[in-house]
């Protein structure tokens, strides 16, 4: 049942299925930098979600399918921040804004929180959560090792 969905000279990776299973969000190159795209899960219908001059990666569909969380590298300066956007590319919202690198967003099964990695300069990576509309930033881990790539799993 294996089926190739994309065919180009760059890497397309970090897939995230929509809740309906009809679409897949993924990161891929536009020839200049990395952007977020969606494609039909059966192939075809590739559409850009982001289109800017900085890298966008690690997409994750919200459980209701209405938004995609992702990481942007340096649109706001020199660090990585977490954003959400509608699958059609509208309604972009920045959730984090600090001097640390924030990456690997992962929606909770209820959609009420997004877990992500927070890595300030000179410190180890920790897991935090934030509300999908922004605010409510809460540390989950606090130790002397790197905590990386959070994933909620299913309920």
At 30 the pLDDT is 87
At 9 the pLDDT is 81
At 154 the pLDDT is 64
CA dist., res. 108 & res. 127, Å (int): 13
Q: Are 68 and 60 in contact (CB under 8 A)?
A: yes
What pTM does this model have?
Answer: 0.93
121: helix, strand or coil: coil
At 8 the pLDDT is 83
DSSP 10-79: S--EEEEE-TTSSEEEEEEE-SSSEEEEEEETTS---EES--SSSEEEEEEE-TTSS-EEEEEESSSSSS
Angle CA(95)–CA(24)–CA(35) in degrees, nearest 5?
55
Mean pLDDT, 10 residues at a time, the chain of 155 residues:
86 94 95 94 94 94 97 82 97 94 96 96 94 95 93 73
CA dist., res. 93 & res. 139, Å (int): 21
Give residue for tokens 């606090």: 142
């Amino acid at each position: 049942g294996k089926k190739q969905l994309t065919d180009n000279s760059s890497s397309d990776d970090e897939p995230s299925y929509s809740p309906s299973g009809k679409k897949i969000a993924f990161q891929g190159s536009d020839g200049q930098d990395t952007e977020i795209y969606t494609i039909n899960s059966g192939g075809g219908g590739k559409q850009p979600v982001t289109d800017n001059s900085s890298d966008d990666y690690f997409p994750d569909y919200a459980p209701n399918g209405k938004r995609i969380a992702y990481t942007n590298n340096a649109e706001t300066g020199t660090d990585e921040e977490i954003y959400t956007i509608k699958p059609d590319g509208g309604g972009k919202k920045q959730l984090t804004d600090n001097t640390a690198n924030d990456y690997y967003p992962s929606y909770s099964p209820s959609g009420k929180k997004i877990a992500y990695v927070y890595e300030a300069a000179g410190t180890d990576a920790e897991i935090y959560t934030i509300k999908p509309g922004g605010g409510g930033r809460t540390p989950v881990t606090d130790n002397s090792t790197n905590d990386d790539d959070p994933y909620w799993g299913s309920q």
